[in-house]
């Protein structure tokens, strides 16, 4: 694992009570399995869905086109891009990973 924070999140997901939102996230949907011998994110059927927003899976050419449209101002106005730079929510614990996560506009912000 390239980023140790992934281990922290997985640990938190496994230690939460059965009635917690985190446990529900871990158990549903069925395609979201992270176990020692199973990584369903490498499933070709899942990759075929190409849901960039939900799964982060797409073709390099399509992703490059998306970024090109964004940077050229054709997808978002400069004003909106400036607005994206500042999180809407900067305090409080995230319900899933139980750590402060600045977020807003569909993004999680890393400091």
ω into residue 91 within 30 of 0, thus cis?
no
Residue 72 and residue 76: Cα distance in Å, rounded?
Answer: 8
- Integer angstrom CA distances of residue 106 from 17, 43, 62, 103: 27, 26, 20, 7
Task: Flag whether the pTM goes above 0.85.
Answer: no
What does the pLDDT look like over 23-61, one tens digit per residue? Answer: 777 676 565 666 666 666 677 776 776 666 666 677 888
Pick the residue with more confidence: 111 or 76? 76
Q: What is the 3-state secondary structure (H, E, C) of the chain?
A: CCCHHHHHHHHHHHHCCCCCHHHHHHHCCCCCCEECCEEHHHCHHHHCCCCHHHHCCCCHHHHHHHHHHHHHCCCCCHHHHHHHCCCCECCCECCCCCCECCEECCEECCC
- In the chain, what are the domain boundaries? 1-44
pLDDT-derived band at 78 (thresholds 50, 70, 90) equals confident
């Amino acid at each position: 694992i390239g980023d140790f924070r992934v281990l922290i999140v997985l640990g938190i997901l496994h230690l939460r009570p059965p009635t917690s939102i985190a446990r529900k996230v871990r158990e549903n949907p069925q395609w979201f399995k992270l176990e020692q011998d199973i990584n369903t994110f490498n499933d070709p059927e899942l990759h075929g869905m190409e849901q960039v927003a939900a799964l982060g899976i797409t073709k390099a050419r399509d992703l490059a086109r998306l970024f090109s449209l964004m940077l050229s101002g054709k997808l978002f106005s400069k004003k909106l891009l400036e607005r994206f730079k500042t999180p809407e929510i900067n305090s409080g614990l995230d319900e899933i990973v139980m750590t402060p996560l600045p977020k807003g506009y569909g993004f999680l912000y890393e400091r």
